[in-house]
Chain A
Amino acid sequence: MRILIVEDDKEAASYLAKAFREAGHVVDHAADGEEGYDLATSAPYDVLVVDRMLPRRDGLSLISGLRSQGFHTPVLVLSALGQVDDRVTGLRAGGDDYLPKPYAFSELLARVEALGRRPRQQEVETSYTVGDLTLDRLSHTVTRSGQEIPLQPREFRLLEYLMQHAGQVVTRTMLLEHVWEYHFDPQTNVIDVHISRLRAKIDKDFDRPLLHTVRGAGYTIRDAGRA
């Protein structure tokens, strides 16, 4: 993917660029809002990572400027202002995701990849398949090797979100945000407990595990045999 980082803090920016390159992406960097706007409007990027507090041009104004010019490149807003209302402002200005500082790079990478590989028309997809596991969004059924697996509504949404991002890392906070719509840092291992329940249902009686834990980052669903 081609990623543009708009970040004024040099060390943070070079760290991000390096880390994204290590993950196999092409990275450009802009040090202020004006430069970021010029770059974003002149080259096709898959994802923009934009800091909110920027010199010369504020991150939110950069995004709304892009949107008003008809650019629909997914934008992830990176900011020290992490309150829910700050996030709402960021998303309303045209951001597609919002990650408060300080973040874990693994989380940022997971989110950026989720944004970049997001199918353009998500609604059209009515079912997801990973290996022999199939989730049908219309009939709300999950089957593995032709065998139906009964799931609670919340477990269904959890699996649905994981399968939407099959092959990508999904972090605990992403799950809390998208499946439960909560924005907080849990002290307990509450998400792990839900994942292990889900895993018991979809993986336990089958030869090959599909739901994997990514150490220090989160979870991913993929068919290890083919990955």
Chain B
Amino acid sequence: MSDTTATVRLFRTTAIKLALIYLAALTLASGAVLVYLSQNTATVLREQVVDTVDAEISGLADQYRIGGIRALVATVDARSRRPGASLYLVTDFAANQLVGNIEQLDDRVLAGESGELQRVIYTPIGGGPRREALARVFQLSGGFRLLVGRDLQEQQYFRSLLAEAMRFWLFVLAALGLITWVFVSRRVLKRIDAMTATSRRIMSGDLSERLPVEGSGDEFDRLAIGLNAMLTRIEALMQGLKDVSDNIAHDLKTPLTRMRNRLEEALRSDLSGDSKAREVLETTIEDCDVLIRTFNALLRIARVEAGSSDASFDEIDVSELVREVAELYAPVAEDEGGGMELRVTDGLRVSGNRELLVQALINLVENALKYARQEEGEGARVELEARAESGEVLLGVRDHGPGIADADKERVLHRFVRLEASRSAPGSGLGLSLVSAVARLHHGRLELADAQPGLMARLRLPEAGNADAAATAGGD
């Protein structure tokens, strides 16, 4: 099996669906937690900033009230040199910087409403990148302005930390999901594949196969044990059925043989006897043969329908098979003034049982020969075709006879169904049911279509190599 199909199968499993659902749910939930957390922290941090700024402002305002601008400048100067200091700026009425640790600031900030908390962008003293801060600006008497603020870098750092954590968490989640999925699906898939393969072998007839049991006692083991018990039971029943049919074959065929033998003996020992008795004997032998044939056909259908575990399958060149059958029967058609036309694509192969396929084809051809004529006296024209169509091999046999009414097409596939009311023509009514049983055994089907005039009986079989696809499609 190629890599791509393996991947496709990996994606089609329940395991990946579950993994994806869990992954999505976990991501959503942890996302919600993170959003909640980061918003709450943001609020708390902001409140802290505001509190700090307010406390500083009230302290500085006191300084100004007591010591005037000079004291304020001195305090601010001292405070702004401390490590981790807040932002300070004192300007005069002309907006000249008197003191502070801000190098540059948007002018509009200082012009803003007094006391309002605002977000400002500034450049710290000594240059460097522009930074963000929360600050309040106060108009002091004498045109002085005081700005006290708090850098927001910490807050942003915290936020980026959270985002980082979130990304990492998502990555961990995805990785975990992936690992669990691969492990689960690999393991689950492997066991399910093993079970599927076994069940396919069982389906193709080997009832002695059993599903693998690992011995771990998990649900797969329990399933396998249960199914194996079922198989044992079915095998026993099938064996019983086979024994019964073998016994029927033996017990019914033996008396039939004796009867036929006695008749033959009577015929042989009475060569000079009266022709009437001889005729009776001969017709009885013929009847006997018809019985035997019918009986054989019935047994054969029963075996084929039971999936005949002993029918061996090989890869068969059906083009060759169709030619052989045509070669065998062409003289029969020609003798009746007709002929056999062949349209065969070379090299068509199916996996199947040669004997059963030959029997099916021959049944179709004999049927066609029987009903080949539209009118009495016309030559029997039978057409045989073999071609491939979308992964299937089509084996068609067409006659130019009266065909089968749509209403009867299903019915003729049943055993002993014969359409002519008189039942005078030879035949048991088992031919098409055998063909249809053989078709089913080969994961194919028998189609009856109007050829106008005549009947087109078509055997559709999966081409060799495509048998798998047909088996999954459940070809019935």
B265 touches A82 (CB 8 A): no
A190-227 contacts to B, CB under 8 A, are 190, 193-194, 197, 216
**Which of A83, A154, A193, A194 contacts B303, CB < 8 Å?**
A83
A104 to B459, CA, bound (A): 34
Besides A187-B366, A189-B332, 10 new A-B residue pairs in contact (Cβ under 8 A), listed by A number: A12-B254, A19-B265, A80-B249, A80-B254, A83-B303, A84-B355, A182-B358, A182-B362, A184-B358, A187-B293
Q: Which of A1-33 contact B (CB under 8 A)?
A: 9, 11-12, 15-16, 18-19, 22
A106 interface residue per 8 A CB criterion: yes
Does any Cβ of A come within 8 Å of B414's Cβ? no
**Which chain B residues lie closer than 8 Å to A100 at the CB level?**
296
The answer to the question of B264 belonging to the interface, with a C-beta cut-off of 8 Å to chain A, is yes
Counting CB contacts under 8 A, is A71 at the interface? Answer: no
Is B258 touching A11 in the complex (CB atoms < 8 A)? yes
Q: B246 to A105, Cβ gap below 8 A?
A: no
Minimum C-beta distance from A218 to chain B (A): 14
Q: CB distance A193 to B250 under 8 Å?
A: no
Which of B292, B312, B328, B426 gathers most chain A CB within 10 Å? B328
How many residue pairs, one in A and one in B, have C-beta atoms under 8 Å apart?
A: 99
Complex interface residues of chain A between 107 and 142 (CB less than 8 A to chain B): none
Known: A19-B265, A103-B257, A193-B335. A83 touches B359 (CB 8 A): no
Report the bound CA distance from A83 to B327 in whole Å.
Answer: 25
Chain A residues near B299 (CB-CB < 8 A): 83
- Decide: A9 and B331 in contact? CB cutoff 8 A: no
A184 neighbours in B (Cβ, 8 Å): 355, 358-359, 362
Compute how far the CA of A105 lies from the CA of B267 in the bound complex, rounded to whole angstroms: 12
Neighbouring A residues of B246 by C-beta, 8 Å: 80-81
A 58-99 binary contact with B (CB < 8 Å = 1; else 0): 000000000000000000000011111100000000000000
B427 at interface (Cβ–Cβ under 8 A)? yes
Complex alpha-carbon distance, A72 and B38, angstroms? 96
Q: How far is the CA of A193 from the CA of B329 in the complex (A)?
A: 9
Q: How many residues of B contact A (CB 8 A)?
A: 44
Known: A80-B254, A184-B359, A188-B366. A12 touches B261 (CB 8 A): yes
Interface residues of B in 296-341 (CB under 8 A from A): 296, 299-300, 303, 310-312, 324, 327-329, 331-332, 335
Using a CB–CB distance below 8 Å, which chain B residues touch chain A? 246, 249-250, 253-254, 256-258, 260-262, 264-265, 267-268, 282, 285, 288-289, 292-293, 296, 299-300, 303, 310-312, 324, 327-329, 331-332, 335, 355, 358-359, 362, 366, 369-370, 426-427
Residues of chain A lying within 8 A (CB to CB) of residue B366: 186-188
Q: Which residues of B contact A185 (CB under 8 A)?
A: 293, 296
Known: A102-B260, A105-B261, A194-B331. A186 touches B254 (CB 8 A): no
B296 touches A15 (CB 8 A): no
Instruction: Name A104's contact: one of B258, B264, B312 (CB within 8 Å).
Output: B264
A-B contact pairs, 27 of them (CB 8 A): A9-B254, A12-B257, A15-B261, A15-B262, A18-B265, A19-B265, A80-B250, A81-B249, A81-B250, A82-B249, A82-B296, A101-B257, A102-B253, A104-B260, A105-B265, A154-B327, A180-B324, A180-B328, A185-B296, A187-B293, A188-B329, A190-B332, A193-B332, A193-B335, A194-B328, A194-B331, A216-B264
Docked CA distance A122–B427 (Å): 40
- Report chain B residues within 8 Å CB of A178: none
Contact: B257 with A102, CB < 8 Å? yes
Interface SS majority for chain B = helix
CB within 8 Å for A190 and B258 given contacts A15-B265, A19-B265:
no
Q: How many angstroms between the C-alpha atoms of A85 and B299 in the bound complex?
A: 14
Closest chain B residue to A103, Cβ basis: B257
Kindly provide the distance from the CB of B431 to the nearest chain A CB, expressed in whole angstroms. 8
Interchain nearest-CB distance for A144 vs B (Å):
21
> Among the listed A103, A183, A190, A194, which residue makes an inter-chain contact with B355, where contact means beta carbons less than 8 Å apart?
A183
Question: CA A15 – CA B264 in complex, angstroms?
Answer: 10
Contact, CB under 8 Å: A187 / B253: no
Specify which chain A residues have a CB less than 8 angstroms from the CB of B362 in the assembled complex: 182, 184, 186
Q: From residue B331, how far is it (CB to closest CB) to chain A in Å?
A: 5
For the complex formed, measure the closest distance between the CB of A156 and the CB atoms of chain B, giving whole angstroms: 13
Q: How far is the CB of A87 from chain B (nearest CB, A)?
A: 10
A84–B314 Cα distance when bound, in Å, is 14
A185 to B298, CA, bound (A): 13
Provide the residues of chain B in CB contact with A18, threshold 8 Å.
265
Are B253 and A80 interface neighbours, CB within 8 A? yes
B99 shortest CB reach to chain A, Å: 110
Tell me which residues across on chain A come within 8 A of B359, comparing CB atoms.
184
Determine the residue in chain B with the shortest Cβ distance to A187. B366
Cα distance, A16 to B303, chains bound together (Å): 30
Q: Which residues of A, 163-183, contact B by the 8 Å Cβ criterion? A: 180, 182-183
Q: Is the CB of A83 within 8 A of B332?
A: no
Contacts of A22 in B (CB 8 A): 268
Asked if A39 lies at the interface with its beta carbon under 8 angstroms from chain B, I say no
| Cα distance, A95 to B332, chains bound together (Å) | 34
- What residues of chain B lie closer than 8 Å to A151, measured between beta carbons? none
Per the bound structure, the CA–CA distance linking A63 and B249 in Å amounts to: 22
Complex contacts, B369 vs chain A, CB 8 Å: 188
Which residues of A sit under 8 angstroms from B289, Cβ to Cβ?
Answer: 104
Question: Which residues of A are found within 8 Å of B427, using beta-carbon distances?
Answer: 187
Q: How far is the CB of A95 from the nearest CB of chain B, in Å?
A: 17
Nearest to B312 among chain A residues (CB) is: A85
CB B9 to nearest CB in A, in angstroms, measures: 36
CB proximity of A113 to chain B, nearest CB, Å: 16
For the complex, give the distance between the alpha carbons of A82 and B310 in Å. 13
Q: In chain B, what residue has the closest Cβ to A78?
A: B257
Specify which chain B residues have a CB less than 8 angstroms from the CB of A106 in the assembled complex. 264
A86 to B282, CA, bound (A): 30
Q: Which residue of B lies closest to A189 (CB)?
A: B332
- Nearest A residue to B358, CB-CB: A182
Residue of B at shortest CB range from A197? B331
- Contact check, B426 vs A187: say whether CB atoms are below 8 A apart: yes
Residues of B contacting A154 in the complex (Cβ-Cβ under 8 angstroms): 327
